[in-house]
């Protein structure tokens, strides 16, 4: 219990300190020390609490409930303050704030919200999320220190407010821990909105017109989710008699399906599923650490986390099936759209939307084996995606571009970073790494009971393979000895090595993760059978041996130039043209805008998802 | 410990016998092709002569990595095929197969050569076209037999083909893609198609090329093994059907010109949707309700 | 190594030929003459081939190309100059841009005169070159054993 309070409240301290102390080196030490504390806290919590049973905690007095209400009011005022300079035609943004907060605060103050006794709880899912936030989050925060240093060197026009950025990160930790440990949905609502605020602060960091515009777009889209959340609080207060989540998910479905559906809707919204995908794509304009932390491994995971919490209610209902369909649609659309993107961060964003869609699909279906796979997906996706975002961020800083075509031959220019990137990409789709094991588990689970969904996962997986593989191809092209572009990367290496190692390690240890962390939640899964573990073990062992071959000197290799119909010249990227002068040749990947381009697919996905969302709400009636 | 002998035996049989059978099948392919073209064709064992000659040639490389990646192509192909013939999970067999193919693609990309890179890109498109159908075939087999394990499927005794005709036809369609036969030999081809020189295999010479050839034999035996599963209830019938399917592929190879990747992708996905997923739907609604 | 005799793969390059000899080479691949009986495959790639069949003479524009292609073939390799133009330049030999036959640029193992060369002569030369390839292979192996290569 004390660990929980520590984890929730402690990050506020560095947040405040970072606003007070402006010196970069002091900030670095604050960040490092706090990260170590948070990381240790999360690990300590995990070690001391793996009995597997959910534990519930009561807080004696009503004081904290009133604190949350005060927090709500303060947050509403902050949001209105943010909107103060908006043009009148965007009236609906402050309107969203007023409506949802007005309703919730009124209910709170007039005592219509039932009393909460059990405010905090943990179970293994919270522990897993806590570990992800603690470990992955800390590594990203450490990376941020180095990243922001380079960022401000390269962008002198952006005012240096890195203290605010780092403070927003720690505020975010506070909010995330609040979400995963809270049992009362009013509390979750409060912390939920704080993550929205953090997202807003981070997206608008560079204060460019595009950044501010995208920040407001993220704000209003996320406020819609908040509106759904507040509507569910009102409904629950009127009809269900309790706001405690653990009681709500155990209630009779005919009473509780609608508010749970509203909460799932908020989850879909936060996880940037269609039709809300646009805010995540716009958020890519933010500095990379926010993309890594908020928009791939943690905040959007809160969305899928809450949907997973709701899945016991969604199981075996038509509404739940619609949630699964929205997830499936997002998976397919996200994977297809990523094929046509050249911007590295956009590819990662669409891939995130896709993978979260897969997790939502599992949550909507709700059977135990599927949920087992979903948790595995959460873990591995958080690791690999965070790693990829950090790598792309550094590549952009070192080479000046995050266009995938500019990453041609990166293995010759930045060998160590490229190998880590290859581990990250492989971790996203290749056997025997984590995401593949998770997808395998999903297909096996779906084939069991819901085979109609298996093709969605299969097609989405094949699409994913295409865009990841062609990115790998770009990185792996060997262009001959080049000057290294890796100089100047400092503290970021901690994050790279840490996340890279974890990606491989957790994959190797997935049976342990499964047995001790997931099995208590959802029961035994055949993925833990010794035959599966042996197969994965053999393949992973082989993969780990792979880099060794790079150090062997192969005998009898004769180096020749690539075949260019005999027209080779000295420069490998040129050939002798027909007028007797050397001409350039270049090769670009296929982006296939005709079929996978944003113009057609994006609109189609939005229309499809709106239809499904409407169906979802209509199917609540028994 | 004794129950390890059978799997190890199967693995060794696969590792040593598959290339022999594969080579003979390729030799048959070339003879049948020649006869269809009113020629005599090479001797039956010609593929073996080719490989043995290539092994003794100079190993020309562009950099020291791409041949190394090819070794891993072989390793994972052996892993995939061994898993299949040992009887383990069909999904993982296909995923390991994908990893093997990925190493071929990476090997081609790493050469930084235009023909190789185009070949690699097209190889990825081929994978995009063919993999969904293969995985759906696995799901279909699960729906009928209740297990993904090849050993269970092979010994189930059900007339799988009666339950899964659409899936089988779909699998035969994408078999053309995986076996690199016209009209779907976009990434590399055994015939002299100079539009992309040799595509994926352009920069490989001597022993590397021999390795690719051997890997194709292993691949072919694995794929024909998947076809075999649908008729596994009767061994002789299954072998005959497998050989007939192979002959059909040779026939298609000789009567079609290569198509553009768009036609390959669209037609493969159409076949997957209509035949593959349609079959799954019928199974689900007719038998599970 | 007997196997190179059983599986000679050819690479055909047109230097500046009028295409007469080229068509005769391609005729060898047709059902009429069917060189695949001998295991011959026409690869489009020097890195895959053993025998280089060159038609036409060498001029200033293609000299470097021919050298590059020859370098991109692996040992053991043989060069056959098909047709009189490849042998000596024929009556183009004194043109301002023609440098002569193939042997001005790369070592040639077999010369087949003719304008155009008959398919039977081409097949005969390929068969003869098999012996040359075998000999080269043996010599190279011997040199390798002595550590010279």
- C2 in a domain, yes or no? no
Question: Is C1 inside any structural domain?
Answer: no
Is B61's CB within 8 Å of A470's CB?
no
Nearest 5°: the CA angle C21, C6, B14 is: 130
Write the DSSP assignment of B221-274 as a string of letters. Answer: HHHHHHHHHTTTTSHHHHHHHHHHHHHHHHHHHHH-----HHHHHHHHHHHIII
Residue C4 lies in a domain: no
Q: Is B52 on the interface with C (CB under 8 A)?
A: yes
For residue C99, the domain's CATH number is: 3.40.50.12280
CB A135 within 8 A of CB A7: no
pLDDT score at B210: 93
Distance CA A144, CA A205 (A): 14
Q: Which pair of tokens denotes residue A330?
A: 């997002």
Q: Quick check: C65 and A560 CB within 8 A?
A: no
Asked if the C-beta of A512 comes within 8 angstroms of chain B's C-beta atoms, the answer is: no
Q: What is the pLDDT of residue B99?
A: 93
Which are the contacts of B126, defined by CB distance < 8 A and separation ≥ 6?
B177, B178, B184, B186, B187, B264
Query: Best interface-test mutation with C: which of B30, B55, B56 has the largest number of C CBs within 10 A?
Result: B56
| Separation CA C28–CA A583 (nearest Å) | 36
Q: Furthest-apart CA pair in chain C: how many Å?
A: 47
In this structure, is residue C110 part of a structural domain? yes
Residue of C111, C112, C122, C11 lying closest to C71 (CA atoms):
C11
Residue B187 has pLDDT above 90, yes or no: no
User: Least CA distance to C149: which residue of chain A?
Assistant: A556
CA-based nearest residue in chain B for residue A452: B281
Residue B2: is its pLDDT beyond 70?
no
Residues 6+ apart with CB under 8 A from A227: A96, A99, A100
For chain C, say whether B43 makes contact (Cβ under 8 Å): yes
Q: What is the pTM of this model?
A: 0.93
Q: State the Cα–Cα distance between residues C82 and C14, nearest whole angstrom.
A: 10
**Is C76 within a domain?**
yes
B37 interfacial to chain C (CB closer than 8 Å): yes
Q: Among partner residues B88, B105, B110, which is closest to A478 by beta-carbon distance? A: B110
Helix/strand/coil (H/E/C) assignment for every residue in A45-90: HHHHCCCCCCEEEECCCCHHHHHHHHHHHHHHHHHHHHHHHCCHHH
CB nearest to C34's CB, from B39, B49, B205? B39
ipTM: 0.94
Residue A322 vs residues A190, A328, A366, A510, A605: alpha-carbon distances, Å = 27, 10, 12, 31, 14
pLDDT in tens, B44-76: 999 999 999 999 888 888 888 888 888 899 999
* pLDDT for position A61: 64
Residue B1 has pLDDT above 60, yes or no: no
Q: Angle, to 10 degrees, between the axis of helix A299-314 and the axis of helix A344-365?
A: 20
C133 vs C76: CA distance, rounded Å: 6
Report how many domains make up chain C: 1
Please, how many CA atoms are within 13 Å of residue A260, restricted to the half-sphere of its CB? Answer: 32
Distance in angstroms (rounded) separating the CA atoms of residues A579 and A583: 10
3-state DSSP helix/strand/coil percent for chain A, to nearest 5? 75, 5, 20
Retrieve residue A331's tokens. Answer: 């998976």
Three-class SS of residue C43? strand
Taking contacts as CB-CB distances below 8 angstroms, the residues of chain C near A558 are 74
Distant-in-sequence, close-in-space partners of A622: CB < 8 Å, separation ≥ 6: A254
Is C38 part of a structural domain of the chain? yes
Are the Cβ atoms of C66 and A566 closer than 8 angstroms? yes
Residue with tokens 């103050």: A109
Residues of C in contact with B58 (CB under 8 A): 74-75
> What percent of chain B has pLDDT above 90?
61
- Cβ-Cβ contacts under 8 Å for A607 (sequence gap 6 or more): none
Would the CB atoms of C34 and B53 count as touching at under 8 Å? no
pLDDT at B193: 63
Q: What is the mean pLDDT of each run of 10 residues along chain A (622 residues)?
A: 82 88 86 90 83 73 80 88 82 85 83 78 88 92 90 88 90 92 89 92 90 91 92 87 83 86 92 91 90 86 92 88 93 94 93 94 89 90 93 92 90 90 90 85 85 90 94 90 83 90 88 81 77 85 82 74 85 84 89 86 91 87 60
Which among A404, A562, A586, A590 is the top mutation candidate for probing chain B, defined by the most B β-carbons within 10 Å of its own β-carbon?
A562
Assess contact for A363 and A310: CB atoms under 8 A.
yes
Is C137 domain-assigned?
yes
- The string of pLDDT tens digits covering residues B220-279 is 999 999 999 999 888 899 999 999 999 999 999 999 888 999 999 999 999 999 999 999
- In this structure, what DSSP letter does residue A296 have? I
- Exposed e or buried b per residue across B8-40, where buried means at least 16 C-beta atoms within 10 angstroms of its C-beta: eebbeebeeebbeebbebbbbbbbbbbeeeebe
| Contact between chains at B95 and A560 (C-beta distance less than 8 A) | no
Q: Do C68 and A580 touch (CB under 8 A)?
A: no
Q: Which residues pair with C81 in a beta bridge?
A: C54, C111
Pick from C56, C39, C45, C107: nearest CA to C79: C107
CA distance A551 to chain B (A): 10
Residue C1 pLDDT: 52
Q: Is A554 on the interface with C (CB under 8 A)?
A: no
Of residues A288, A25, A283, the one with CA closest to residue A154: A288
Compute the distance between CA of residue A452 and CA of residue A417 in angstroms, rounded to an integer.
41
For tokens 């009995």, the residue is A51
Measured CA distances, B258 to A442, B115, B254, B266 (Å): 36, 17, 10, 15
Query: Are residues A436 and A535 in contact, defined by beta-carbon separation less than 8 angstroms?
Result: no
CB-CB under 8 Å, B59 with A557: yes
Q: How confident is the model at residue B128 (pLDDT cuts 50, 70, 90)?
A: very high
Determine the structural domain holding residue C61 and report its residue range. Answer: 9-146
Q: Are A488 and A150 in contact (CB under 8 A)?
A: yes
What is the enclosing helix (H) or strand (E) of A456? helix A454-476
The confidence score (pLDDT) of residue C117 equals 93
Q: How far apart are CA C40 and CA C29, in angstroms?
A: 9
Is C136 contained in some domain? yes
């Amino acid at each position: 219990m004390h660990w929980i309070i520590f984890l929730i409240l402690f990050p506020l301290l560095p947040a405040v300190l970072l606003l007070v102390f402006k010196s970069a080196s002091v900030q670095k030490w604050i960040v490092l020390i706090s990260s170590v504390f948070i990381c240790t806290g999360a690990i300590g919590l995990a070690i001391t609490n793996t009995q597997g049973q959910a534990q519930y905690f009561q807080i004696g007095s009503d004081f904290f409930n009133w604190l949350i209400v005060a927090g709500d009011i303060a947050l509403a005022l902050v949001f209105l303050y943010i909107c103060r300079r908006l043009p009148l035609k965007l009236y609906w943004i402050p309107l969203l704030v007023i409506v949802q907060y007005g309703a919730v605060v009124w209910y709170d103050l007039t005592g219509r919200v039932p009393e909460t006794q059990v405010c905090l709880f943990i179970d293994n899912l919270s522990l897993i999320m806590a570990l992800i936030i603690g470990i992955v989050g800390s590594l990203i925060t450490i990376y941020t220190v180095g990243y922001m240093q380079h960022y401000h060197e390269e962008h002198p026009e952006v005012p240096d407010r890195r203290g605010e950025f780092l403070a927003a990160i720690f505020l975010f930790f506070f909010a995330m821990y609040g979400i995963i440990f809270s049992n009362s949905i009013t509390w979750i609502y409060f912390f939920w909105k704080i993550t929205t605020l953090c997202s807003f602060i981070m997206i608008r960091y560079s204060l460019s017109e595009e950044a501010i515009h995208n920040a407001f777009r993220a704000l209003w889209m996320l406020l819609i989710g908040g509106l759904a959340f507040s509507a569910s609080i009102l409904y629950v207060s009127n009809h269900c008699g309790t706001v405690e989540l653990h009681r709500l998910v155990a209630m009779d479905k005919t009473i509780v399906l609608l508010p749970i559906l509203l909460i799932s809707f908020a989850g879909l919204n936060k996880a940037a599923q269609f039709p809300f995908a646009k805010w995540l794509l716009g958020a890519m304009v933010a500095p990379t650490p926010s993309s890594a932390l908020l928009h791939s491994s943690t905040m959007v995971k809160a969305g899928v986390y809450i949907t997973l919490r709701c899945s016991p209610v969604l199981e075996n209902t038509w509404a739940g099936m619609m949630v699964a369909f929205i997830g499936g649609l997002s998976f397919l659309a996200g994977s297809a759209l990523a094929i046509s993107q050249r911007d590295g961060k956009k590819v990662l964003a669409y891939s995130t939307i896709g993978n979260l869609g897969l997790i939502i699909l599992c949550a909507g279906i709700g059977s135990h084996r599927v949920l087992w796979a979903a948790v595995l997906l959460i873990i591995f996706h958080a690791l690999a995606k965070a790693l990829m975002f950090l790598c792309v961020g550094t590549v952009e800083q070192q080479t000046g571009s995050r266009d995938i075509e500019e990453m041609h031959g990166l293995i010759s220019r930045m060998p160590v970073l490229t190998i880590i990137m290859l581990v990250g990409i492989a971790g996203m789709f290749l056997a025997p790494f984590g995401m593949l094991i998770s997808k395998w588990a999903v297909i096996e689970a779906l084939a069991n009971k819901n085979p109609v969904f298996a093709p969605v996962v299969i097609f989405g997986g094949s699409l994913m393979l295409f865009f990841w593989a062609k990115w790998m191809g770009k990185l792996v092209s060997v262009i001959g000895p080049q000057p290294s572009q890796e100089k100047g990367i400092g503290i970021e290496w901690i994050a790279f090595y840490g996340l890279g190692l974890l990606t491989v390690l957790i994959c190797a240890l997935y049976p342990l993760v499964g047995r001790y962390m997931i099995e208590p939640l959802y029961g035994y899964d055949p993925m833990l059978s010794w035959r599966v573990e042996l197969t994965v073990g053999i393949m992973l062992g082989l993969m780990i041996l792979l880099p060794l071959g790079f150090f062997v000197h192969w005998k009898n290799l004769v180096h020749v130039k690539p075949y260019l119909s005999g027209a080779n010249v000295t420069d490998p990227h040129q050939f002798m043209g027909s007028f007797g002068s050397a001409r350039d040749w270049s090769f670009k990947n296929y982006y296939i805008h005709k079929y996978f381009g944003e113009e057609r697919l994006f609109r189609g996905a939005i229309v499809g998802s709106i239809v499904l969302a409407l169906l979802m709400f209509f199917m609540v009636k028994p | 410990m004794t129950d390890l002998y059978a799997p190890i035996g199967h693995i060794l049989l696969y590792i040593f016998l598959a290339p022999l059978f594969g080579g003979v099948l390729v030799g048959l392919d070339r003879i049948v092709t020649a006869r269809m073209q009113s020629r005599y064709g090479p001797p039956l064992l010609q593929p073996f002569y080719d490989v043995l000659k290539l092994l003794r040639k100079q190993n020309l490389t562009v950099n020291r990595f791409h041949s190394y990646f090819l070794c891993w192509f072989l390793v994972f192909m052996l892993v995939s095929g061994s898993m299949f013939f040992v009887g383990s999970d069909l999904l993982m067999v296909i995923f390991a197969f994908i990893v093997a193919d990925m190493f071929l693609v990476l090997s081609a990309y790493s050469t930084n050569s235009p023909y190789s890179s185009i070949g690699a890109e097209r190889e990825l498109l081929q994978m995009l076209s063919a993999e969904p159908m293969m995985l759906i075939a696995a799901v279909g087999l699960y729906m009928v037999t209740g297990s993904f394990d090849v050993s269970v499927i092979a010994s189930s005794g059900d007339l799988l083909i009666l339950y899964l005709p659409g899936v089988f036809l779909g699998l035969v369609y994408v078999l053309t893609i995986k076996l690199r036969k016209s009209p779907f030999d976009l990434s590399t081809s055994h015939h002299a198609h100079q539009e992309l020189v040799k595509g994926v295999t352009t920069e490989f010479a001597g022993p590397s090329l021999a390795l690719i050839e051997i890997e194709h034999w292993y691949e072919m035996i694995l794929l024909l093994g998947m076809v075999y599963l649908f008729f596994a209830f009767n061994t002789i019938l299954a072998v005959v059907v497998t050989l007939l399917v192979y002959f059909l592929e040779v026939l298609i190879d000789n009567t079609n010109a290569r198509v553009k990747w768009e036609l390959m992708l669209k037609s493969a996905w159409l076949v997957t949707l209509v035949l593959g997923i349609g079959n799954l739907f019928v199974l689900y609604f007719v038998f599970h309700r | 190594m007997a196997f190179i005799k059983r599986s000679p793969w050819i690479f055909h390059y047109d230097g500046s030929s009028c295409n007469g000899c080229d068509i005769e080479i391609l005729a060898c691949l047709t059902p009429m003459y069917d060189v695949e009986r001998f295991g011959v495959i026409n690869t489009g790639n020097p890195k895959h081939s053993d025998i280089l069949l060159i038609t036409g003479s060498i001029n200033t524009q293609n000299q470097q190309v021919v050298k590059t292609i020859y370098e991109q073939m692996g040992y053991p390799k043989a060069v056959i100059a098909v047709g009189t133009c490849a042998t000596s330049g024929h009556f183009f030999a004194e043109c301002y841009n023609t440098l002569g036959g193939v042997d001005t640029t790369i070592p040639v193992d077999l010369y087949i005169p003719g304008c155009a060369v008959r398919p039977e002569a081409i097949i005969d030369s390929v068969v003869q070159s098999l012996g040359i390839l075998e000999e080269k292979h043996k010599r190279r192996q011997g040199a390798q054993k002595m550590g010279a290569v």
